[in-house]
Amino acid sequence: MAKRVGFATRMGAIAAAVGSAVGLGNIWRFPYEAGVNGGGAFILVYICCILVMGIPVILSEFVIGRSTHSNMKAALKQLSPGKKYYLFTYVCILGSFVVIGFYSVVCGWIIEYLYQAAMGQLSGHSAQEYNDMFSSLVANPWRCVGWTVLFLVFNFMVMSRGIEKGIERVSSIMMPLLFLILIIFCIKALFLPGVSRGLKFLFYPDFSQLTLRGVLDAFGQAFLSLSIGISCLVTYGSYFKDDISLVKDATMVGVLDTLVAILSGVMIFPAVFSFGVEPTAGPRLIFEVLPGIFQQMTGGYFWALLFFLLVFFASLTSTISLSEIPITFMIEERKMSRPRAIAWTAVFTFALAVVAALSFNVLEDVKIFGKSIFDAMDYAASNIFMLMGGVFTAVYVGWIMDRKVLHDQLTNGGRLKGKSESYFVFCLRYVAPVSIIFIFLYLTGII
Ligand code: PFF
């Protein structure tokens, strides 16, 4: 097995995990999911998911990783010798490809908007024109595929040159900056004419708008946003030093990630109601709304450029952590060299991403269970792979893994008090199985 080194500092460890968690899931997907599912009630359910499942699953992944200092497969073999739980790793790898496949298409859109911003073409248009601008981007296979491929080339170049650590260091400056800029945009949004309708939509829980599908979406969104369920955070956990508090770090990742998602909502919804965009616009929502916000700001050109640049870096740290899942597996379990593992990962990723990009134009008529390929991948990634994977992880740590390992990891071998242990054990043991029964009944159409 490759020699493993730990994160030098606790901040470094947290920054890397937050770097993976904060990405398009928060800025692009959270507002549109909230919009499609009626706003306030969805957000309330979302926050409950983070508390009862999200943070406990982050913790479980950290525990599996740090207690073994290995990748998911080796860890499960070590923790449950002679059992077949390690086969779950293959589901994680498949899941990571599905996520990165559709995710990199959206990263491609971000580069297009970054380019448009740099060219000064994002300002001076009406809401309808912003709508048309997005439609013409996705309708054009060359542009859509071109930007996606460019993003992936960039992603794998960073990985093959071994400069992800450099990128992570850059993003430890970029992330706080992104946070700051979101706050500035939120303040700006609070002066838009649609502010009261926007905030009401976001924070007033109208349960008549919430469906069972919305509850499932909230779970899926929470898991995608936190990067849990496909073993990504197991890898991070495996690099953690033995003296950091896993409970504190898991909570910190969960809270910061949720804060970024909510801030994105506060930035978007007042603008949605001010510019007459439909809150249910779906994946195109932020691309229709953001340029309108920049336009209202002094120095809009600069803000637009800075915003898309920061979102680009946030997405890059997420795709790096995603690609690392199959790459680490191939290196450590298949004994491949790093360049070879990267090459194989790149081949599969390119294939899936190109198909996803074409599903808006050339492959528009191809439907999987009534959804376009992109939508089907997006749905399968969060509502099936990550959700099921997260629940498996929780049940495994709560019921199957030796309880002593969990106790040791939560208390650092008895050195910490571990006051919250019973809370986490309760969530992992009871909330997780109940949720999986709910998901199963829903997916099979029984409820
Ligand atoms: N959490 C990332 C986001 O919110 O954009 C997406 C992601 C990264 C999902 C890494 C899964 C993962 F393993």
| Structure confidence by residue, pLDDT tens digits, 384-409 | 999 999 999 999 999 999 999 999 99
**331-349 residue pLDDT tens:** 999 999 999 999 999 999 9
Q: Which atom of ligand 1 is nearest to the CA of 233?
A: 13
Asked if residue 364 lies in contact with residue 372, where contact means CB atoms within 8 angstroms, the answer is yes
- Reduced to 3 states (helix: H, G, I; strand: E, B; else coil), residue 161 is coil
Question: In terms of pLDDT, which residue wins out, 322 or 444?
Answer: 322
What SS3 class is residue 368?
strand
How far apart CA 52 and CA 67 sit, in angstroms, is 23
> How far does Cα 78 stand from its chain's mean position?
28
pLDDT mean over 236-258: 93
Mean pLDDT taken over the chain:
92
Q: Provide mean pLDDT across the span 67-86.
A: 96
SS3 content of the chain, % helix, strand, coil (to 5): 80, 0, 20
Q: What is the average per-residue pLDDT within 246-273?
A: 96
pLDDT tens per residue, range 114-129: 999 999 999 889 889 9
CA distance 357 to 350: 10
Ligand 1 geometric centre to CA of 21 (Å): 5
CB burial readout 191-224, b (16+ within 10 A) else e: ebebbebbbebbeeeeeeebeeebbbbbbbbbbb
Q: How confident is the model at residue 3 (pLDDT cuts 50, 70, 90)?
A: low
Q: What ranges do the domains of the chain cover?
A: 10-443
DSSP state of 416: S
Task: Classify the C-alpha dihedral 378-382-385-388 as positive or negative.
Answer: negative
CA gap 329, 345 in Å, rounded = 11
Q: Is there an atom of ligand 1 within 6 Å of 322 CB?
A: yes
Q: What is the Cα gyration radius of the chain?
A: 21
Percentage of the chain surpassing pLDDT 90?
A: 80
234 pocket-lining for ligand 1 (C-beta < 6 Å):
no
Phi, psi for 371 (deg, rounded to 5): -110, 155
Q: What pLDDT, on a 0 to 100 scale, did the predictor assign at position 123?
A: 87
What pLDDT is recorded for position 8? 67
Average pLDDT over residues 408-426: 94
pLDDT score for 14: 82
Q: In this structure, which amino acid lies at residue 174?
A: M
Pocket of ligand 1 contains residue 283 by CB under 6 Å: no
Q: Which residues pair with 367 in a beta bridge?
A: 372
Ligand 1 atom closest to the CA of 225, numbered from 1: 4
Residue type at 99? V
Kindly state the average pLDDT of the residues 67-75. Answer: 94
Residues 4 and 63: their CA atoms lie apart, in Å, by: 17
Over the stretch 25-48, which tens digit does the pLDDT of each residue have? 999 999 999 999 999 999 999 999
Q: 261 or 127: whose pLDDT is higher? A: 261
**Closest C-alpha residue for ligand 1 atom 7:** 227
Please tell me the least confidently modeled range out of 91-105, 134-148, 218-232, 290-304.
Answer: 290-304
What are the pLDDT digits (tens) for 171-216? Answer: 778 888 999 999 999 999 999 999 999 999 999 999 998 999 999 9
Confidence class for position 447, pLDDT limits 50, 70, 90: confident
Architecture of domain 10-443: Orthogonal Bundle (1.10)
230 lines ligand 1 (CB under 6 A): yes
Is residue 166's pLDDT more than 90? Answer: no
Q: What are phi and psi of 367, to 5 degrees?
A: -120, 140
Lowest-confidence range among 90-104, 130-144, 359-373, 429-443?
429-443
Residue 26 CB–ligand 1 contact under 6 Å: yes
Give Dmax (Cα) for the chain.
65
314 Cα nearest atom in ligand 1: 5
Residue 431 has pLDDT above 90, yes or no: yes
The Cα–Cα gap between 172 and 15 comes to 6
Instruction: List C-alpha distances in Å: 81 to 77, 78, 85, 137, 400.
Output: 5, 6, 9, 51, 12
Q: Give the per-residue pLDDT at 130.
A: 93
Model pLDDT, residue 331: 92
Burial 148-179 (b: 16+ CB within 10 A, else e): bbbbbeebbebbbeeebeebbeebbebbeebb
**pLDDT value of residue 2:** 46
Probe residue for ligand 1, chosen from 100, 103, 109, 231 as the CB with the greatest number of ligand atoms within 8 Å: 103
pLDDT at 107 over 50: yes
Per-residue pLDDT of 132-163, as tens digits, reads: 999 999 999 999 999 999 999 999 998 888 77
